[in-house]
Structure 1
Amino acid sequence: MRPTALVTGAASGMGRAVAERFLAEGWTVLAVDRDAEALTKAAAELGAAFHPVPVDITDRAAVAEALGSPEDLRAVVNAAGIYPATLLADYDEATYRRIFDVNVLGTLNVTAAAVPALRAAGGGTVVNFASIDAFAVSPGQLLYSASKAAVVSLTRSLAQELAPDGITVNAVAPGWVDTPGTRAGGRMEEAVKSVPLGRAAQPAEIADWVWKLCDGSYVTGETLVIGGGITVR
């Protein structure tokens, strides 16, 4: 039986790159995304081992129902996230709720729904997507930065809670990554000038590190910064 990985945000960007990496390693992927149309398109391109699961991760009951009890679930990757710009001068409650519901609550909802299947499989791993902004904040990302700092903290708490079940929990904190969503923000080309390596990461490079954290590890409760050296300048 092929091992199964659950990947959120799998229809595009870094989530899709992670899904593609697991597929290349011979895994089955439960591909979670709220964009059903994009999931259907990805499934047509990536083949039968890519199983679309269209669901809104902010709805805990809907997530539990959509996932059910997947067999031989070994890895959960919480890659879904949103990053609308906010400042103290312009944030509102609706934007706060939306950012934290997707980035923090969504991560918890998916993990909670998946843990019984990980336990049934004898253990496994969870990798959450934090961000470089949890450590080196960017102008205009007031709420996004706070939400990703929360992901770092919950990663540590979950690592402690789930260790007795043989489940490791870690996070990756990407810096600038060359995705369509990042390019659409219009700041990437200028921003990467401050990155010591002089470029943005490719989504596949982030997926490589996610795979390494999922491929058997004594590491848990850690957040790996993948920022091209931006935190050491």
Structure 2
Amino acid sequence: MNTAPHSSVIVTGTSSGMGQAVAQRFQEEGWHVVAVDITPDQQAASPLLSPVTGDITCEQTLGSAIDAALSGKAPLRSIVNAAGVFPTSSLESYSEALYRKIFNINVLGSLNIARIGTRHLKASGGGSIVFFASVDAFTVSRNQLLYSASKAAVVSMTRSLAIELAEHNIVVNAVAPGWVDTAGTRAGGRIDAAIESIPLKRAARVEEIADWVWQLSSKPSYVTGESLCIAGGVFMR
């Protein structure tokens, strides 16, 4: 492993699941990772890891912490926003508080991280942003009213920012996973009930999602404004 990182990446939602897998993948590739999560990271800081405890819905406070974590480090080349929540909701069950929680984290949080990090990407001469959307942005699942709407907003935001940031040599894309095997999706047997509807008859592994994020992040190319569905055939475009 390269102990002198040539590039930095901001990754959010790193305490578990897909965000943790993404952070690990970048470290394996020798990148310096600014690992952002609302839960304190149990790993000690190292040449390849700068843990930041913070709330992605609080731009000013988090921005200062990320700026400090990047100070004196390798230039920022990528931003990956994997933080998100997926509570169930329906017309009958939703509340204003739940609406605000889902949209504040999934949408506002994504925008905040993009704005915080984009200043550094511009200073580095460009780079990439990868948002986490969902297959539910394109197809409908029962009891995912607010989650689906929030991820559709992320898809639209990806396209808008791709246009806005192109002149700065920054590409913006999203991954749109289907069912992924994590502690959250295993809770209550949710994933077991869904597997029969997946053509490949299994959920994605977090490492598979991290592989695609790495491909979109590490070598920015001519692809921008796209949302890549990683759903085992549940949805095809």
TM range (shorter): over 0.9
Aligned residue for 1:61? 60
Identity %: 56
> Are 2:223 and 1:219 aligned?
yes
Q: TM-score, normalised by structure 2?
A: 0.93
Aligned residue for 1:229? 233
* 1:21-40 mapped onto 2 (5 Å cutoff): 21-36=25-40, 39=41
Partner SS, residue 68 of structure 1: helix
Structure 1: how far apart are the matches of 2:188 and 2:87?
9
Q: Deviation string for 1:153-201 (max 9, x for gaps)?
A: 0000000000000000000000000000111142101201110111000
Structure 2: how far apart are the matches of 1:88 and 1:48?
48
RMSD: 1.5
Structure 1: how far apart are the matches of 2:120 and 2:172?
15
Unaligned runs of 5+ in 1: none
Aligned residue for 2:164? 161
Aligned residue for 1:14? 18
Structure 2: how far apart are the matches of 1:116 and 1:47?
24
* 1:167-186 mapped onto 2 (5 Å cutoff): 167-186=170-189
Structure 1: how far apart are the matches of 2:101 and 2:80?
20
Q: Deviation string for 1:104-128 (max 9, x for gaps)?
A: 0000001101111001111000000
> After TM superposition, where is structure 1 displaced by more than 2 Å over at least 4 residues in a row?
none
The answer to which of 137-146 and 67-76 deviates more is: 67-76
Q: TM-score, normalised by structure 1?
A: 0.95
Deviation at 1:231, TM superposition (A): 1.2
Q: Deviation string for 1:11-44 (max 9, x for gaps)?
A: 11000000011001100100000001xx1x2x24
Unaligned runs of 5+ in 2: none
Structure 2: how far apart are the matches of 1:97 and 1:28?
33
Deviation at 1:2, TM superposition (A): 2.3
Deviation at 1:138, TM superposition (A): 1.3
Partner SS, residue 187 of structure 1: helix
> Are 2:189 and 1:190 aligned?
no
Aligned residue for 1:89? 92
Aligned residue for 1:51? 50
Letter in 1 for 2:83: A
Letter in 2 for 1:206: I
Deviation at 1:47, TM superposition (A): 5.2
